[in-house]
A and B are shown apart, each in its own frame.
Chain A
Amino acid sequence: MNEKRKNSTRSGSNFKWVGEVTPRPDGVDKVTGRARYGDDLKLPGMLHARVLRSPHAHAKIVSIDTSKASALEGVKGVVTYRDIPDHPLATPPYPPIIQDFHDLSRNVMARDKVLYDGHAVAAVAATSEAVAREAIKLIQVKYETLPHVLDPFEATLSDAPILHEYQFTEGADPDTSKPSNTFRTLSGERGNLVQGFSEADVIIEREFSSQPVHQGFIEPMACVASASEDGSVELWTSTQGHFVARGLLSKLLNLEISKLRVTASEIGGGFGAKTTIYGEPVAIRLSQKTGRPVRMTFTRSEVFRATGPAAGSRCRIKVGIKSDGTITAGDAEIWYQAGAFKGAPVGRALDTFFSPYNIKHIRAAAHDVCVNRPKVAAYRAPGAPMATWAMEAVLNEAADVIGIDPIDLRLRNAVKEGDTSLKGTKHGRIGLIEVLEATKNHAHYTAPLGRNEGRGFAVGYWLHGGGLSSASVILQDDGTVNVATGSPDIGGSRSSMRAMAAEELGIDVKLIKPIIADTGSLPYSYQTAGSRTTYATGMAVVNAARDVIDRLRALAATKWDIGVKDVRWDDGHAIPADKYEGEISPLSLKELAEVAMKMGGAIAGHSEINASGQGAAFCAQLVDVCVDPETGRVTPIRHTVIEDVGRAISPDYVEGQMQGGAVQGIGWALNEEYIYNENAQLQNTGFLDYRMPVASDVPMIDTVIVEVPNPNHPYGVRGVGEPPLVSAPAAVANAVENAIGTTMSHLPLTPPKILRAIGETIPEAAE
């Protein structure tokens, strides 16, 4: 790891803990198995829940008879849609990310129709898992099957089966009285496209498609709910945001926020999929009905069939470029599969297509289309990888046509501080040029390639999240410190929070224990998503630590009977002003902790913020692959990720994020896809046949950490987690194209597709 970091362009710093690799705060418990995940909580009298799921992709529910299941010995409770409150449809104007409780209620438990294979229809709570399994088989559901549609483009055609009779395309022009699978189209435009394309020497136009992909978290959704007769509810769940889960649950189930206490378990990955709720409301209702704690753990098959993948897509893109490499115009349109309910990441697609480049004339449109698949959920830079792939593929082709180096092409058009994106974001200090230069200067870029090998390049953009975060820094009377945040630790936030607190307080990280507080113990914090946690929650931790320092300075001032302005804080000590030199000795944080308990009381610092200024970040990737010309099999052989991270607080975790995003992108590009049969039933509901890369499928992913500090954060942090996935599928696909010498426009690039593209004897009808 240290060997690799020699490559980095990290700026030197005088920090003691920020930027250092320290032992993981969660390491020992994860290695020994002591860490408690969603399924690990066991309460006295706890029941086991199982869900009955639809075998049909689209059907009316005629009747549900649960009487036989209820009568089975050991069954304590059954719920159906009748137990989940209904809510009215959301009304315009719609926010960029819609949270519609009408849809959420129906996704949690099918109401009048089932809309995908695996849609929940009923659930039971029983004294054992075996009884619960037996019981759901006794539930009799009568269905009236309906035709289904899986492809987002086909779903927009006039003869497509309609999922929701109540859904009319928002802002359709001309207005329509016919229900539609298209919920809305978002679009944006600036400049004059006709003029832009007329200025171009080369115009490249292509179409692309991609399949839905699974986030691939290892821990299935799991929770334990315990409802009291007094109306309060405790919930333990594997989630990326327990405050967000509490908000969704309290509104969905009509619970008072203060009475619903949610604790985030240790989490075995989420990648965006655990930013919403699935089993939690059902477990709570079963607990309320039975008066007993209820555990609900999804099987892997349930995770695949019924929780959110990333949207599949169809895309058209047209880009105009001058022979000197100046991009004159861009026009893109994308159709996203929302799944059974609206909510595909259309806004993000619009913001992604052209944002790394300063282009005068651009237009982008994105359609949010319902199909008979599980509702999409966030996946690491939602909506961005597919749009980025289209744009980057076209730019690589353009570079080839006009004979310019692909990185020089990007450098010529790269956005800088002061430029504005299509969405209207005015960039602050950003590091795209630094990332491109580091990529161009990397030995990988010019290394020789062997037979059947190809090299790919792509760069990606992502606008990070900010938002609400809270933190408490609590000084204990022995001089040790707890740092409490409301952000579940998925990518190493505890380590970064600890490092920033140690840096501020001037104490060893060993004296700090970071924890994730439950929803009753800390004010609201948004979820760990949007690469926001180290930025926003980190800022709250820095504030809270400075709050502690202020209180310690005041305490020292009182003890010394001098003015607080005459006490400064340095290297873990309260230090009196120079004029008291020799008269008053400094007091360490540990000494002050003891003093506090005898004087004014315990010391803690708090911060509640709504962070902004997080800005954008860029990530480039270089990928080499080898393609077997006889089988179409792709072997990734070299991969380098170059990302501007602002400042790496915990460099080992930062590298992990860069590598993880790259690996997910390799899977997305090469082999991952949902395979449905003719009845739209999912065929690959496990990791055996949903072909995510395993460790031996990927080469060592080299990382280059570029640090262009973000001036809006006390330590210069930018988001890190998402950009590496944004550009990965594009870079991998580009490498395959380069190896086989032909364009590839339909992900995943499976061996049959590659073999067919190579033009061997395989007949066209094959797929």
Chain B
Amino acid sequence: MDYHAPESIHAAISLLVNAEGDARVLAGGTDVLVQLREEMIEPNHLIDIKNIAETRNISICAKEVRVGAAVTGAELGEHPKVKALWPGVVEAVGLIGSHQIQSRATMGGNLCNASPAADSVPALIAADGKVVIAGPNGERKISIEDFLIAPGKTALAIGEFVVALALPIPPTRTADAYLRFIPRTEMDIAVVSAGSAITLDEDGKCTHARLAVGAVAPTARLVKSASGILVDGLLDDDRLEQLAQATSAVCEPIDDKRGTVAFRTQVAGVLACRAVKLAWQRAMERDI
């Protein structure tokens, strides 16, 4: 196995395109190194993107926040502006692994590993995040939902890699939240998870709502009906009940070592309501 550490996007693409055999992109390595050690993957080339400036930056412009694919969870967690804009996304990334893992793990890697239980993903979907992809044909930008195809499978074509993740600058009175269920307090993988972003008007009525759930289907799912249930209304028990049912209805989980179909389906509804309530409360606390 050959290790490469290109210093430009161009060089990385060239390595990916010309690699003989299997090539694997490495950012923090908290998934890739474990998979190597457990002999789950045996790539011929390991291409470390951490030396490429664009993958290491957090930039904020008028339209969006860009988080480089190799920005670590610890760096993101200490970025006051991103935290203020999208607290749920930052919290989701902060839940990955331990303190030690946080100093290596990246949101880009969490996305590209394409686990159905990835913590950052439901939060990114709720925030309407986009993936910035570099490849032989230039840069393209696609939605998180379109990027994830199946467990372990993404929309990346040969020669492509993820440079950054883009989050919109949220409208006024918008906030998000992410919650996951694990039987322990940390160091575990989501059994069920939910991310939500809520926008309120001056009267506290919902004008925009997005809700996504994780670990309940091959990829994280946007609960499309959530918008219809929440928009134009206030948060009441009736709507929450509808929301829980709508969430459970989109779940197609499996029984595995981490949870059961019935448990995941039911608790997805519970977490969806809790995530919406938390995002709503945060939006209420924002200046009008």
Given contacts A631-B270, A761-B266, contact A693 B260 (CB under 8 A): no
Contact of B259 among A634, A752, A760 (CB under 8 A): A752
Q: Taking the complex as formed, is B263 at the interface, i.e. its CB lies under 8 A from any CB of chain A? A: yes
Q: How far is the CB of A683 from chain B (nearest CB, A)?
A: 4
Q: Taking the complex as formed, is A1 at the interface, i.e. its CB lies under 8 A from any CB of chain B? A: no
Check A691 against B263 for contact (C-beta < 8 Å): no
Check B183 against A763 for contact (C-beta < 8 Å): no
Given contacts A684-B257, A689-B257, contact A766 B262 (CB under 8 A): yes
Contacting B at CB under 8 A, from A689-703, are: 689, 691, 693-694, 696-697
B273 to chain A: closest residue by CB: A630
Q: Taking the complex as formed, is A449 at the interface, i.e. its CB lies under 8 A from any CB of chain B? A: no
Q: Using Cβ atoms and an 8 Å threshold, which residues of chain B touch A760?
A: 266
Q: Using Cβ atoms and an 8 Å threshold, which residues of chain A touch B270?
A: 630-631
Q: Taking the complex as formed, is A767 at the interface, i.e. its CB lies under 8 A from any CB of chain B? A: yes
Q: Taking the complex as formed, is A572 at the interface, i.e. its CB lies under 8 A from any CB of chain B? A: no
Contact of B185 among A133, A687, A697 (CB under 8 A): A697
Contact of B258 among A689, A693, A762 (CB under 8 A): A689
Q: How large is the interface on A (under 10, 10 to 19, 20 to 34, 35 or more residues)?
A: 20 to 34
Q: How far is the CB of A129 from chain B (nearest CB, A)?
A: 11
Q: Taking the complex as formed, is A482 at the interface, i.e. its CB lies under 8 A from any CB of chain B? A: no
Check B266 against A755 for contact (C-beta < 8 Å): yes
B187 to chain A: closest residue by CB: A694
Q: How far is the CB of A598 from chain B (nearest CB, A)?
A: 57
Check B185 against A696 for contact (C-beta < 8 Å): yes
Q: Taking the complex as formed, is A670 at the interface, i.e. its CB lies under 8 A from any CB of chain B? A: yes
Q: Using Cβ atoms and an 8 Å threshold, which residues of chain A touch B187?
A: 687-688, 694
Q: How far is the CB of B263 from chain A (nearest CB, A)?
A: 4
Q: Using Cβ atoms and an 8 Å threshold, which residues of chain A touch B249?
A: none
Q: Taking the complex as formed, is A9 at the interface, i.e. its CB lies under 8 A from any CB of chain B? A: no
Contacting A at CB under 8 A, from B153-191, are: 181, 183-189, 191
Q: Taking the complex as formed, is B142 at the interface, i.e. its CB lies under 8 A from any CB of chain A? A: no
Q: Taking the complex as formed, is A127 at the interface, i.e. its CB lies under 8 A from any CB of chain B? A: no
CA distance A750 to B267 in the complex (A): 14
B262 to chain A: closest residue by CB: A766
Residue with the greatest number of chain B CB neighbours at <10 A, chosen from A301, A684, A689, A766? A766
A674 to chain B: closest residue by CB: B257
Check B262 against A763 for contact (C-beta < 8 Å): yes
Q: Taking the complex as formed, is B287 at the interface, i.e. its CB lies under 8 A from any CB of chain A? A: no
CA distance A630 to B187 in the complex (A): 22
Given contacts A691-B188, A694-B187, contact A675 B262 (CB under 8 A): no
Contact of B183 among A630, A683, A691, A762 (CB under 8 A): A691
A761 to chain B: closest residue by CB: B266
Q: Using Cβ atoms and an 8 Å threshold, which residues of chain A touch B263?
A: 632, 751-752, 755, 762, 766
Q: How far is the CB of A158 from chain B (nearest CB, A)?
A: 30
Q: Using Cβ atoms and an 8 Å threshold, which residues of chain B touch A62?
A: none
Check B183 against A750 for contact (C-beta < 8 Å): yes
Q: Taking the complex as formed, is B20 at the interface, i.e. its CB lies under 8 A from any CB of chain A? A: no
* Chain A interface mostly: loop
Check A683 against B257 for contact (C-beta < 8 Å): yes
Q: Using Cβ atoms and an 8 Å threshold, which residues of chain B touch A694?
A: 184-187
Q: Taking the complex as formed, is A420 at the interface, i.e. its CB lies under 8 A from any CB of chain B? A: no
Q: Taking the complex as formed, is B261 at the interface, i.e. its CB lies under 8 A from any CB of chain A? A: yes
B274 to chain A: closest residue by CB: A630
Q: Taking the complex as formed, is A447 at the interface, i.e. its CB lies under 8 A from any CB of chain B? A: no
CA distance A760 to B184 in the complex (A): 22
Contacting B at CB under 8 A, from A717-731, are: none
CA distance A767 to B260 in the complex (A): 7
CA distance A761 to B267 in the complex (A): 11
Residue with the greatest number of chain A CB neighbours at <10 A, chosen from B188, B257, B261, B267? B257
Q: Taking the complex as formed, is A671 at the interface, i.e. its CB lies under 8 A from any CB of chain B? A: yes
A686 to chain B: closest residue by CB: B38
Q: Taking the complex as formed, is B39 at the interface, i.e. its CB lies under 8 A from any CB of chain A? A: yes
Given contacts A689-B258, A767-B260, contact A671 B189 (CB under 8 A): no
Q: How far is the CB of B88 from chain A (nearest CB, A)?
A: 19
Q: Using Cβ atoms and an 8 Å threshold, which residues of chain B touch A751?
A: 181, 183, 191, 263, 267
Q: Using Cβ atoms and an 8 Å threshold, which residues of chain A touch B257?
A: 675, 683-684, 689
Q: How far is the CB of A293 from chain B (nearest CB, A)?
A: 24
Q: Using Cβ atoms and an 8 Å threshold, which residues of chain A touch B38?
A: 301
Contact of B184 among A632, A675, A693, A763 (CB under 8 A): A693
Q: Taking the complex as formed, is A765 at the interface, i.e. its CB lies under 8 A from any CB of chain B? A: yes
CA distance A372 to B112 in the complex (A): 38
Check B262 against A691 for contact (C-beta < 8 Å): no
CA distance A760 to B189 in the complex (A): 24
Check B261 against A766 for contact (C-beta < 8 Å): yes
A767 to chain B: closest residue by CB: B260
Check A633 against B260 for contact (C-beta < 8 Å): no
Check A688 against B185 for contact (C-beta < 8 Å): no
CA distance A704 to B259 in the complex (A): 38
A673 to chain B: closest residue by CB: B257
Check A696 against B261 for contact (C-beta < 8 Å): no
Q: Using Cβ atoms and an 8 Å threshold, which residues of chain B touch A633?
A: 181, 183
Contacting A at CB under 8 A, from B239-288, are: 256-263, 266-267, 270
Q: How far is the CB of A583 from chain B (nearest CB, A)?
A: 68
Check B183 against A766 for contact (C-beta < 8 Å): no
B191 to chain A: closest residue by CB: A751
Chain A 518-558 near chain B by CB (<8 Å), digits 1 or 0: 00000000000000000000000000000000000000000
Q: How far is the CB of B76 from chain A (nearest CB, A)?
A: 21
A→B interface (CB under 8 Å): 133, 301, 630-634, 670-671, 675, 683-684, 687-689, 691, 693-694, 696-697, 750-752, 755, 760-763, 765-767
Knowing that A691-B184, A750-B183 are A-B contacts, what are 15 other residue pairs whose CB atoms are under 8 Å apart, sorted by A's residue number? A630-B267, A632-B263, A633-B181, A689-B189, A693-B184, A694-B187, A696-B185, A696-B186, A751-B263, A751-B267, A752-B259, A752-B263, A755-B267, A760-B266, A767-B260
The 3 closest A-B pairs by CB, nearest first: A766-B262, A752-B263, A696-B185
- Chosen A-B contacts, 24 in total, with CB atoms closer than 8 Å, are A631-B181, A633-B181, A633-B183, A634-B183, A671-B183, A671-B184, A675-B257, A683-B257, A689-B189, A691-B188, A693-B184, A697-B184, A751-B183, A751-B267, A752-B259, A752-B262, A755-B266, A755-B267, A760-B266, A762-B262, A762-B263, A766-B260, A766-B262, A767-B260
B→A interface (CB under 8 Å): 38-39, 181, 183-189, 191, 256-263, 266-267, 270
